Amino acid sequence: MITVEQREDSGVVGTEPVQCRPFFAIWMASGLAVAIVAVFTVVGIVLRSSDTGVVFQTSDQVAMIVLGILIAAGTMLWAVPRVRADAEGIEVRNVLTKRRFAWREVLSVSFPDGASFARLELPDDEYYTVMAVQAVDGWRAVTAVRALRKLHKQAWRE
């Protein structure tokens, strides 16, 4: 969920650590994963009684269910994005990658019009996508971007 947690135990006066997770993506990935496992389980169970002339064994049924579990696990990868930011920098975990930036490396935190995800603007016209802050999350995304911008601004002042 895109909850913006602000803790007072940061150790740095005037800054609160921020943690963000996507809300909508977690719900959709979870629901889709459950549906995939259910469908593959039903197909695996019904697979034995086929009128096609093909003989399915118990191992085929188990393989079908295991395949559904593996596909569901792949679907759940969309639920892992996270952002953790503090006074020193920001750690971005996307679907398969995780990277930490010092605030001095980040020019700005932006959310361009029409974009699906927020991003960190970096030097040399580069950017890094922040998949934890998604447009479909609406006000949660706005809150997260504001909190990240506040930390970025405070880091640049010091």
Within a domain: 87: yes
Residue 96 contacts residue 77 (beta carbons within 8 Å) = yes
Residues 152 and 90 in one domain: yes
The total of structural domains in the chain comes to 2
How much of the chain, in percent, has pLDDT values that exceed 70? 87
Average pLDDT over residues 120-127: 92
Within a domain: 8: no
Within a domain: 3: no
Within a domain: 54: yes
Q: Among the three residues 39, 57, 77, which one is the final residue of a domain in this structure?
A: 77
Q: Provide the residue type at 89 as one letter.
A: G
Within a domain: 128: yes
Domain limits at 37? 27-77
Residue 14 confidence (pLDDT) above 60: no
The pLDDT tens digits for 25-61 are 999 999 999 999 999 999 988 877 666 777 778 888 8
CA proximity to 89, closest of 104, 74, 67: 104
Q: What is the CATH number of the domain that holds 116?
A: 2.30.29.30
Residues 134 and 120 in one domain: yes
CA of residue 135 relative to chain centroid, distance: 13
For the chain, the straight-line distance linking the first and the last C-alpha, in angstroms and rounded, comes to: 31
Residues 100 and 54 in one domain: no
Three-state DSSP string of 1-70: CCCCCCCCCCCCCCCCCEEECCCHHHHHHHHHHHHHHHHHHHHHHHCCCCCCCCCCCHHHHHHHHHHHHH
Q: Among the three residues 35, 51, 77, which one is the final residue of a domain in this structure?
A: 77
Distance CA 51, CA 127 (A): 55
Residues 122 and 97 in one domain: yes
Within a domain: 35: yes
Residues 58 and 114 in one domain: no
User: Would you say the pTM of this structure is higher than 0.85?
Assistant: no
